[in-house]
């Protein structure tokens, strides 16, 4: 049982990743789309995936109370991918990101999960600006970000990275 919040949508559970999820994260991080669109994180074993969770994911949860969530289908408990809010070096504010196993793409799961994470970021965690980055060739990500209400702002480079990225942003709407 996690001490951090989990979320639910009509079809999905969004729960903080734990080291028990290392085999699933390993599979996700080594899909061709992850490597092309997000980058090779050099995670090639279950042990390396567990270390990634412990060293890269858990510290943000401990510091901010939110982070990277596994996305699980409620009907059968199947791991579909991940979605989360990230405090990423080189970006202003909090970054929303998502990745799904190929078998679960184009079924609306990414939108459903990301919409919930976006709303929780604004309403529960008090975030006022959510950003996102994507490579120019990742048209599916751009389309999803725009569907979530994010707007393209500019091209950027993260520290230590030569690749130019598309930077998107959305502001929390003021209460009426």
Render pLDDT for 100-118 as a digit per residue (tens, 0 to 9).
999 999 999 999 999 999 9
pLDDT tens, residue by residue, 116-132: 999 999 999 999 999 99
pLDDT of residue 1: 52
User: What are the φ and ψ backbone dihedral angles of 45, each rounded to 5 degrees?
Assistant: -135, 160
Alpha-carbon torsion angle 87, 90, 93, 99, nearest 10: -50
Say what the pLDDT of residue 103 is: 97
Domain 7-171 in this protein, CATH class: alpha beta
The ranges assigned to domains in the chain are 7-171
Q: What is the largest CA-CA distance in the chain?
A: 50
Confidence of residue 2 (pLDDT cuts 50, 70, 90): low
């Amino acid at each position: 049982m996690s001490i951090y919040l989990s979320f639910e949508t009509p079809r999905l559970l969004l729960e903080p990743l734990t080291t028990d999820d290392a085999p699933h994260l390993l599979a996700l991080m080594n899909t061709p789309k992850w490597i092309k669109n997000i980058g090779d994180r050099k995670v090639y074993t279950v042990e390396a995936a567990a270390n990634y969770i412990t060293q890269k994911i858990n510290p943000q949860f401990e510091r901010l109370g939110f982070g990277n969530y596994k996305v699980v289908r409620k009907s059968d408990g199947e791991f579909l991918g991940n979605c989360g809010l990230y405090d990423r070096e080189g970006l202003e504010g909090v970054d929303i990101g998502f990745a799904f196993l190929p078998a679960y793409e184009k079924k609306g799961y990414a939108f459903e999960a990301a919409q919930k994470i976006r709303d929780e970021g604004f309403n529960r965690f008090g975030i006022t600006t959510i950003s996102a980055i994507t490579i120019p060739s990742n048209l599916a990500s751009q389309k999803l970000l725009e569907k979530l209400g994010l707007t393209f702002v500019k091209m950027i480079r993260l520290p230590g990275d030569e690749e130019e990225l598309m930077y998107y942003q959305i502001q929390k709407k003021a209460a009426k």
